[in-house]
């Protein structure tokens, strides 16, 4: 019970961000998004920085009533992501990067993630595998985690529009949350079913990018029971819908804004209400 209390006041995060590490609605989820692209040069680099009104991660409102934050809704986050991609061949790419964030109204919360991801494409089919290291340092506690992930996505084309269903699986290597150092149980995992689409609005400059996602929990996120304890359960975690609007300023700069809604089937970590409405924006410099 002491451990459970400590955890509620500390986490819920961890994700894989990996992948790209993340483009999601586009915060961490963005890391859980599979994108099929044809490389045009041997390398690619990207710097993104953005803000999200809530830190939603795998259905959990991470900063609601945690780390001394008594907001009814929770703190937002400001984050920066830097990545480098080596296009090994026309069908193979290796990406390494880092993602750093801190709470906006809850400035005591800080997180740094380091990730790597390998992607192989076969036409419109993308297969990827990756690793992420999470490090969280809220006031008084430092938590970390090692995570593996595997994803597959296929892009269908309808004229200039696309739709990409994908499956992502995220496996926590540890340390265990019971040790006071981990952010989830060792060998716990999370399965994400997601459908992303892109609908051009004005040439290749403005488009709409709606998505829907369904997460299944395998002892990764606990739910708060009636007797006040945390139950590391397996089953339905949350469903999420959202829509983004990327605006291409030029070949280097892209602006992006989004709005999203997540419904959690349980009181995850004892901090997440069933319904969460949030949004955010970012700017990306690609080279």
How far apart are the C-alpha atoms of 189 and 186, rounded to whole Å? 9
Please state which of the ranges 244-248, 272-276, 280-284 shows the lowest mean pLDDT.
Answer: 272-276
pLDDT, position 151? 98
Number of domains in the chain: 1
Domain containing 38 — which CATH number? 2.40.160.40
Three-class secondary structure of residue 177 per DSSP:
helix
How far apart are the C-alpha atoms of 52 and 3, rounded to whole Å? 29
pLDDT, position 131? 98
* pLDDT tens for each residue of 120-134: 999 999 999 999 999
pTM for this entry: 0.85
Task: Determine the length of the chain.
Answer: 287
In this predicted model, which residue has the larger pLDDT, 228 or 126?
126
Cβ-based burial of 70 (10 A; exposed 0-12, middle 13-18, buried ≥19): exposed
Instruction: Please compute the mean of the pLDDT values over residues 159-167 and round it to a whole number.
Output: 96
Instruction: Please compute the mean of the pLDDT values over residues 114-120 and round it to a whole number.
Output: 98
Residue with tokens 């998505």: 211
How far apart are the C-alpha atoms of 64 and 43, rounded to whole Å? 39
| Whether residue 11 has pLDDT greater than 50 | no
Q: Please give the DSSP secondary-structure letter assigned to residue 179.
A: G
Number of Cβ atoms within 10 Å of the Cβ of 2: 7
Domain containing residue 277: 2-286
pLDDT, position 73? 76
Cβ-based burial of 257 (10 A; exposed 0-12, middle 13-18, buried ≥19): middle
Residue with tokens 């051009």: 200
pLDDT, position 130? 98
Instruction: Please compute the mean of the pLDDT values over residues 101-116 and round it to a whole number.
Output: 92
| Whether residue 218 has pLDDT greater than 90 | yes
| Whether residue 35 has pLDDT greater than 80 | no
Please state which of the ranges 36-45, 119-128, 149-158 shows the lowest mean pLDDT.
Answer: 36-45
pLDDT, position 2? 36
pLDDT, position 67? 53
Number of Cβ atoms within 10 Å of the Cβ of 55: 28
In this predicted model, which residue has the larger pLDDT, 149 or 228?
149
| Whether residue 41 has pLDDT greater than 60 | yes
Q: Per the structure block, which two tokens stand in for 278?
A: 């949030």
- Answer whether 260's CB lies under 8 Å from 241's CB: yes
Please state which of the ranges 36-40, 50-54, 148-152, 260-264 shows the lowest mean pLDDT.
Answer: 36-40
How far apart are the C-alpha atoms of 93 and 89, rounded to whole Å? 7
In this predicted model, which residue has the larger pLDDT, 73 or 48?
48
Please state which of the ranges 145-159, 232-246, 259-273 shows the lowest mean pLDDT.
Answer: 259-273
């Amino acid at each position: 019970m002491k451990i459970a209390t400590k955890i509620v006041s500390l986490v819920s995060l961890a994700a894989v961000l990996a992948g790209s590490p993340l483009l999601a609605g586009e915060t961490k989820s963005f890391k859980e998004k599979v994108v099929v692209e044809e490389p045009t040069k041997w390398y690619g680099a990207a710097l993104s920085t953005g803000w999200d009104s809530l830190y939603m991660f795998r259905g959990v409102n991470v900063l609601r009533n945690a780390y001394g934050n008594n907001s009814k809704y929770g703190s937002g986050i400001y984050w920066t992501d830097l990545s480098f991609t080596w296009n090994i061949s026309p069908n193979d790419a290796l990406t390494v990067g880092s993602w750093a964030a801190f709470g906006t109204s809850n400035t005591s919360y800080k997180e740094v993630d380091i990730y790597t991801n390998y992607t192989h494409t076969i036409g419109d089919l993308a297969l990827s595998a990756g690793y992420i290291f999470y490090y969280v340092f809220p006031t008084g506690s430092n938590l970390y985690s090692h995570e593996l992930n595997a994803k597959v996505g296929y892009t269908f084309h309808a004229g200039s529009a696309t739709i990409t269903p994908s499956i992502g699986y995220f496996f926590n290597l540890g340390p265990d949350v019971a040790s006071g150092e981990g952010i989830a149980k060792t060998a716990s995992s999370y399965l994400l079913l997601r459908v992303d689409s892109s609908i051009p609005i004005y040439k290749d400059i403005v488009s709409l990018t709606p998505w829907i996602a369904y997460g299944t929990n395998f002892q990764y996120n606990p739910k708060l029971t009636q007797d006040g304890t945390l139950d590391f359960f397996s089953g339905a975690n949350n469903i999420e819908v959202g829509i983004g609007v990327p605006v291409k300023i030029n070949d280097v700069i892209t602006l992006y804004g989004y709005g999203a809604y997540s419904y959690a089937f349980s009181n995850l970590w004892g901090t997440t209400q069933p319904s969460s409405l949030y949004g955010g924006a970012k700017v990306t410099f690609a080279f």
